[in-house]
A and B are shown apart, each in its own frame.
Chain A
Amino acid sequence: MVTIKQTQLIEWLKNITLVIRENKDILTALDSEIGDADHGFNMERGFNKVSEKIDELSRSQDIAMLMKNTGMTLISSIGGASGPLYGTFFMQAGAVLGDKTEITLTDLKNSIENGVKGVKDRGRASVGDKTMIDVLEPAVQSLSESVGENLSLEQALSNMVDVAKNGMKSTIDMIAKKGRASYLGERSIGHQDAGATSSYLILKALKETIN
């Protein structure tokens, strides 16, 4: 069975840093339309820290520790709402993996599912609120279906990113109900959510690293 190795997940973290840097201005521009124009700066600050500490992170004894240490790094360096949310995502994603150093598609699904549950508990958002959850929840759903249908890892990641992209686009027509954008009410319609966009970029980086 095809698995994902710990070294590949370290590559994923490096690739997230690159994709966040490339898209920093886009994230900030999206956030300036309906938020407070700092999502690009904050995400870059967090993943720059991950990248600075990548050697130390690489020495984590298993994937659970790698994810936990990454989460802690993000929490202590991002601030704002994104810090606790992405930090919780990585920490909770690691929490269900025991001492594994490589994972199957089923493990990946369980991991991301638990990460997303952590984000929902922390941020109390649901699908339709115009947040990260509009990308993450459908992504988990897609992984579950792929596990049920015995799809290959490659196909599962590909399907996941397709629905994540749709989820990201779906935030354009939504009224924000969480975070700073919610103060705008109906004026938030017509703008893509910055957090949903960074979530999509992170999942897309996973697919591109593995496939």
Chain B
Amino acid sequence: MKKLINKIENVITEQMEGMAAAHSSIKINLEPKYIYRSEETKKGKVVIISGGGSGHEPMHGGFVGLGMLDAACPGEVFTSPTPDQMFECAKKVENGGGVLFLVKNYTGDVMNFEMAAEMLNADGIKTQNILIDDDVAVKDSLYTAGRRGVGTTVIMEKIVGAAAEAGYDLEQCAALAKKVNSRGRSMGMALTSCIVPAAGKPNFDIDEDEIEIGVGIHGEPGRKRIPLTNADEITTILTSAILDDKAYSRPLREWDFSTNSWVEKELTSDAFKAGDQMIALVNGLGSTPVSELYTVYRKFNELCEAKNITIARNLVGSYITALDMQGCSITLVRADDEMIKLWDAPVNTAGLKM
């Protein structure tokens, strides 16, 4: 294993200390670990908090700042943070408008954020959890933990962060986050595996001449393993998987403030169709040069045009990564005017500035 690290047990702490040293717009707390905005926000503003296992930087800590997240809770590498950490973090930044947790759909993240929301609601701080489950590589939720949360997370954090900044209340922010999730789809692929520092060896084995289609951001297996092929063909496989995905319904849990308990609500993602306008993300998984991402974008754009799908806004770069994995993911979120307007609002974070 070759990595720019010191002691393995200090990896997360030292990266947080470096971020705080580099960006005066954020502050860090180490016991327990969280990253939060330096400047005070307007009284009554909903605070938007996310978090998850580390190893996906710049997400989430890099998206803390004006127009995006109020705070982020990093866990160990690829391991969910803990409820006490989320609780302390929310108590620190909460500003009278309630708390919205944006949670990627992984078993550990979901359970830890649910416990944190229960603790906060019991403490009199209104807290809602909205899930992101956009990875079309996972077929259904009936026999699995459901679709994983990937690229749509970045777009959701931007749009909902802007809405909170614009004065949306907790209910409106939660409804908007659900809307973004219901309109987002992603699919990724890996050229190589990734190495978790504590493990010291690749997360999975993959031959020099093979690629994994539908890989997750922790190296979870995808739909299939195929022989290495060229960028256009890979882009076509990913784009088709997203554009051909049929309407998808699943029950997702949210907090019911009238009964103070979790309820399951059905959420349906309609299939994409000609005439849709999109916000697109072509994302690198950590070790992919941006030049290759533009090669992917070239073909991806051509395929969308051919289907009469308009990419109204786009982001090309490494925003949600899997440590040092080589590979990419594509995300499309069907946008309406409200979402475009919020997308265009100012954002100033370590990882995204517009």
Q: Are B82 and A183 in contact (CB under 8 A)?
A: no
Partner of B112, one of A77, A83, A180, A185: A83
Binds A, one of B173-181, B216-224, B271-279: B216-224
Binds B, one of A36-44, A141-149, A153-161, A165-173: A36-44
Residues of A within 8 A of B145 (CB): 178-180, 182-183
Min CB–CB distance A155 → chain B (angstroms): 35
Q: Are B199 and A83 in contact (CB under 8 A)?
A: no
Q: Are A180 and B80 in contact (CB under 8 A)?
A: no
Report the number of A-B residue pairs with Cβ-Cβ less than 8 Å: 85
A133, CB-defined interface residue at 8 Å: no
B97, CB-defined interface residue at 8 Å: no
Chain B window 109-120, contacts with chain A (Cβ cutoff 8 Å), 1 for yes, 0 for no: 001101100000
A85, CB-defined interface residue at 8 Å: yes
Residues of B within 8 A of A76 (CB): 32, 82-85
Residues of A within 8 A of B199 (CB): 37
Q: Are A183 and B115 in contact (CB under 8 A)?
A: no
B76, CB-defined interface residue at 8 Å: yes
B258, CB-defined interface residue at 8 Å: no
Compute how far the CA of A178 lies from the CA of B143 in the bound complex, rounded to whole angstroms.
Answer: 8
Residues of A within 8 A of B114 (CB): 84, 122
Q: Is the contact region of chain B dominated by helix, strand, or loop, or is it mixed?
A: loop
Contact of A182 with B108 at beta-carbon distance under 8 Å, contacts A36-B78, A79-B79 already known? no
Q: Are B83 and A75 in contact (CB under 8 A)?
A: yes
Contact of A84 with B106 at beta-carbon distance under 8 Å, contacts A79-B75, A175-B143, A184-B221 already known? no
Compute how far the CA of A182 lies from the CA of B105 in the bound complex, rounded to whole angstroms.
Answer: 13
Q: Are B111 and A84 in contact (CB under 8 A)?
A: yes
Residues of B within 8 A of A77 (CB): 82
A80, CB-defined interface residue at 8 Å: yes
Q: Are A182 and B82 in contact (CB under 8 A)?
A: no
Partner of A36, one of B82, B138, B218: B218
Q: Are B107 and A123 in contact (CB under 8 A)?
A: yes
A187, CB-defined interface residue at 8 Å: yes
Q: Are B107 and A78 in contact (CB under 8 A)?
A: no
Chain A window 56-80, contacts with chain B (Cβ cutoff 8 Å), 1 for yes, 0 for no: 0000000000000000100111111
Q: Are A84 and B83 in contact (CB under 8 A)?
A: yes
User: Which A residues, 117 to 141, have Cβ-Cβ distances below 8 Å to chain B?
Assistant: 122-123
Residues of A within 8 A of B143 (CB): 175, 177, 182, 185
Q: Are A75 and B115 in contact (CB under 8 A)?
A: yes
Q: Are A78 and B82 in contact (CB under 8 A)?
A: yes
Compute how far the CA of A182 lies from the CA of B137 in the bound complex, rounded to whole angstroms.
Answer: 13
Residues of A within 8 A of B84 (CB): 72, 75-76
Residues of B within 8 A of A36 (CB): 78, 203, 218, 220
Q: Is the contact region of chain A dominated by helix, strand, or loop, or is it mixed?
A: helix
- CB nearest to B110 among chain A residues: A81
Residues of B within 8 A of A179 (CB): 107, 145
Compute how far the CA of A77 lies from the CA of B76 in the bound complex, rounded to whole angstroms.
Answer: 11
Residues of A within 8 A of B216 (CB): 183
Q: Are B198 and A41 in contact (CB under 8 A)?
A: yes
Residues of A within 8 A of B196 (CB): 37
Residues of A within 8 A of B75 (CB): 79-80
Q: Are A79 and B81 in contact (CB under 8 A)?
A: yes
B230, CB-defined interface residue at 8 Å: no
Min CB–CB distance B68 → chain A (angstroms): 24
B291, CB-defined interface residue at 8 Å: no
Compute how far the CA of A185 lies from the CA of B203 in the bound complex, rounded to whole angstroms.
Answer: 19
Q: Are B107 and A81 in contact (CB under 8 A)?
A: yes
Partner of A85, one of B32, B76, B85, B111: B111
Residues of B within 8 A of A82 (CB): 108
Compute how far the CA of A85 lies from the CA of B108 in the bound complex, rounded to whole angstroms.
Answer: 9
Q: Are B138 and A183 in contact (CB under 8 A)?
A: yes
Compute how far the CA of A38 lies from the CA of B53 in the bound complex, rounded to whole angstroms.
Answer: 12
- CB nearest to A34 among chain B residues: B221
Min CB–CB distance B31 → chain A (angstroms): 11
List 13 other contacts, CB 8 Å, given A37-B199, A76-B83, A80-B108: A38-B78, A75-B84, A82-B108, A84-B115, A85-B111, A88-B115, A122-B114, A175-B143, A180-B107, A180-B218, A183-B144, A183-B145, A184-B221
Interface residues of B (CB under 8 A from A): 32, 75-76, 78-85, 106-108, 111-112, 114-115, 138, 143-145, 148, 196, 198-199, 203, 216, 218, 220-221
Shortest 6 CB-CB contacts between residues of A and residues of B? A84-B111, A182-B144, A80-B108, A81-B108, A76-B84, A81-B107
Interface residues of A (CB under 8 A from B): 36-38, 41-42, 72, 75-85, 88, 122-123, 175, 177-180, 182-185, 187
Q: List 6 A-B contacts (CB under 8 A).
A: A37-B196, A38-B79, A80-B75, A83-B108, A183-B216, A183-B221
